[in-house]
Structure 1
Amino acid sequence: MAHFQTRPCDTLPRLWLISDARNDRQLENALQRLPRGSGFIYRHYHLSHRERAARFAALLRQAKSANHVVVLADDAATARQWGADGVYGRAALHPAPGLLRLSTAHSPAEIAQANRARADMALISPIFPTHSHPGAPHLGPMRFQALAALATMPVIALGGMNPRNARRLRINHWAAIDGLTP
């Protein structure tokens, strides 16, 4: 497992696939289609612990065969036990030596938390309308840029993201749930 806290920004994955109950059936195909060295964030909150661990193990093998960075939405101990490269979400606000830490942020206060925690990357969302939360408010490009400017770490745009919206934002890092599955 690599030590990520000192990893230069330009070596972090630019493209991230995030797992969800909605895209579970397409994950193998989506992982195969991702460029080598992309990122994969495994959430799968909808499964029991045992089912979640088994599904993670199967997807981890495939992701690692394509040199993808694999991040787990769980605590650092579980991430290490399962063989993940990092942690996602609230766990990223706690020390996790040797693991990549991806925090989530929806507001200036959450960006400030990620900055204080010295997270490796922050996922800012939702940028555009999403299938996850139909009709919910979203940031839009200008508010996204304003939040990104507050971050001391690289940011990942999330929420309604696809290749077209990534070009529109002119960003280096973006993630999707539905935007990367066939």
Structure 2
Amino acid sequence: MTDERVGDRLWPMLRRLPPGSGVIFRHHATPPAERRALFARVRRIARARRLMLLAARPPLPGAAGLHGRVRGATSWPAHDRREAVAGRRAGAALLLASPVFPTRSHPGAEALGPMRAARIDCGAGMIALGGMTERRWRRVRALGFAGWAGIDGWDRPAGQGPRA
């Protein structure tokens, strides 16, 4: 997941993602022309590294899909079972359960915790989001999550890998 607070750390973070991973490009507060240019640069890296690239609304040309609460979205945020059901009904292939753990992205938000997050699932494709790290992924993967997403979990100096 991208946003403005990562700044130029975005580029090494993209290089650390394993091929086959996905990127959800957000940058909601970036002015439209600058957002499109930034997306084009991310898209070039994603193509070269075989990363799936989704764009949060508004949609951007060249994205493999859309992230958000809109019919036909590829991925959908789900903070409870009601939102997960709505995402499935709207056709989302991936649901992002969040926040599983406390996260800097949503200071003060109550974390679901792994068990509660796993219970909101209503089909395959649930992604754990919120305070996720490689170590936390190893802890929650047996609960039925298809994968994990994060920002800070990938934000480490080169060679050190995700935070554990």
Q: Same fold (TM over 0.5)?
A: yes
Amino acid in structure 2 at the alignment position of 1:178: D
Aligned: 1:144 with 2:117: yes
Paired residues of 2:69 and 2:87 also in contact (CA < 8 A): no
Shift of 1:35: 0.7
By relative contact order (CA 8 Å, sep 6+), the higher-ranking structure is: 1
Select the residue among 79, 93, 106 that pairs with 2:79: 106
> Aligned to 1:90, what secondary structure does the other structure show?
coil
**Mind listing any 5+ residue stretches in structure 1 that lack a counterpart?**
1-17
Match of 1:90 in 2: 69
Shift of 1:118: 2.4
Shift of 1:167: 0.5
**CA distance in structure 1 between the aligned counterparts of 2:93 and 2:22, rounded to whole angstroms:** 13
Shift of 1:153: 3.3
Aligned: 1:163 with 2:142: no
> Aligned to 1:23, what secondary structure does the other structure show?
helix
> Aligned to 1:179, what secondary structure does the other structure show?
helix
Query: What aligned pairs does 1:7-86 form with structure 2 within 5 A after superposition?
Result: 18-75=1-58, 78-79=59-60, 82-86=61-65
RMSD: 1.3
TM-score (norm 1): 0.80
**Mind listing any 5+ residue stretches in structure 2 that lack a counterpart?**
157-164
The total of aligned residue pairs comes to 153
> Aligned to 2:139, what secondary structure does the other structure show?
helix
TM-score (norm 2): 0.88
**Aligned-pair identity (%):** 42
Amino acid in structure 2 at the alignment position of 1:57: A
